[in-house]
Structure 1
C-alpha cells in the first residue's frame, strides 16, 4: 500500500496539481493532505485525482469549513484506518502522541520523519515553497514488516523530483 502525503499548499494550486500528478505517477493508492489547502481549487484537485483521499483543515482554512460536506476534509485530529494500519491526521503538531500506528501532521513546512514507540511520525514539508524554494511531498509505503518513507523535493524551476528514502521495521 502506497500513500501520497502532502501539506501546506496555501495559494499554490499549480504546485498542488504538480505534486498530486507526481504522486499518482509513482503509483500512490491514496492521498493524504495535512491541511492549509487555503483554496477550494486545491480540494477540487484532490477530488479530481481519482484516488481515495482525506484531508484536514489547517489554521488557514477557516473559510473552507462550509465546504466540508462537498469534500473529504475533516476537523483535526482525524483518526482513520486503511487496511490494518491506524492513522491520526492533523495540521497543527499539538497532538503528537503515539495513539496510532502513523501520525501525519503539517504546519511547520519542514519535513520530519521519526519512528518512536512503534509510531511513525511524518510531516511531508510544504507544497507551496514559501519557507524555502522547494516543492515537497512524501510517499509512505506500508509493508507487512516495514515502513518505507520516500521524501520527494524539487526546486521550483526544476523538472524532476529528487528522492530521499528512510526505512523502519514495523
Structure 2
C-alpha cells in the first residue's frame, strides 16, 4: 500500500520557524517540499529535522543560491514538478507552467511566488500553490499545504498556520 504525506511550503521570507513548528506538529510527514523564496529558512527546519526528506528550489529572492530553479521527481508513483513559478510568469496565469508540466509528464505541479493559495486540476494535472507561510497576499491567513498520495489517488488541502 502506497501512503505518502507531503508538507508543502513557499515564500517563508525569514519565517523558517513557522515551517519548523508545522512539521513538528504534523504527524507522518514523508517529505517537506519548499517552493522557494529564502531557502535559508530551511535551516530552522533542518535543525529540528524529523524523519522526512527535504526538497527545495530557489525563488526570485534567493540570490546566490545553489538550489535548482526546478526539480522533477517521483513520490508514491506520481511525478512532481517543483518550481517557484517566477520563470513561468505565474502571476499572469498557469499557461506556461501547464506546458512545462505536460513536457515532464507531471501529475502534480507545486509552485509559489504569488503568495496566494491555489489548487486546480487541469487536464489531469494538479496545480498547487500552498500560499505563503509568512506574507499572504490573498486575504487569507498565512498557509501551507498537505498532499497525500495513496493507492486511491491524491488528496490536497490548504491549512492555516
Tell me the TM-score normalised to structure 1 length: 0.75
More strand by share: 1
Q: Structure 1 pair 129/21, CA: closer, same or farther in 2 (3 Å)?
A: farther
TM-score by length of 2: 0.79
Q: Taking structure 1 as reference, are residues 46 and 15 closer, same or farther at Cα in structure 2, changes over 3 Å only?
A: closer
Q: Corresponding residue for 1:115?
A: 121
Pairing partner for 1:20 from 16, 23, 28: 23
TM-fit CA distance, 1:144: 2.0
Structure 2: gaps spanning 5 or more residues = 89-95
Higher helix proportion (structure 1 or 2): 2
The aligned counterpart of 2:68 is: 75
User: What stretches of structure 1 of length at least 5 have no aligned partner?
Assistant: 69-73, 155-170
Partner residue in 2 for 1:159: none
**Cα distance change, pair 84–147 in 1 and its aligned pair in 2 (3 A):** same
Q: CA deviation at 1:55?
A: 0.3
2:8 corresponds in structure 1 to: 5
Which one of the candidate residues 141, 154, 161 is aligned to 1:147? 154
Residue equivalent to 1:125? 131
Show the 5 A alignment for 1:15-94. Answer: 15-22=18-25, 25-37=26-38, 40=40, 42-48=41-47, 49-50=49-50, 51-63=52-64, 65=65, 68=66, 74-92=67-85, 94=88
Closer/same/farther in 2, CA of residues 58 and 84 from structure 1, 3 Å limit: same
**How far apart, CA to CA, are the structure 1 residues paired with 2:53 and 2:19?**
16
Given candidates 135, 155, 165, the residue that maps to 2:142 is: 135
- The alignment yields a C-alpha RMSD, in angstroms, of 1.9
DSSP 3-state at the match of 2:14: coil
Q: How far apart, CA to CA, are the structure 1 residues paired with 2:46 and 2:56?
A: 11
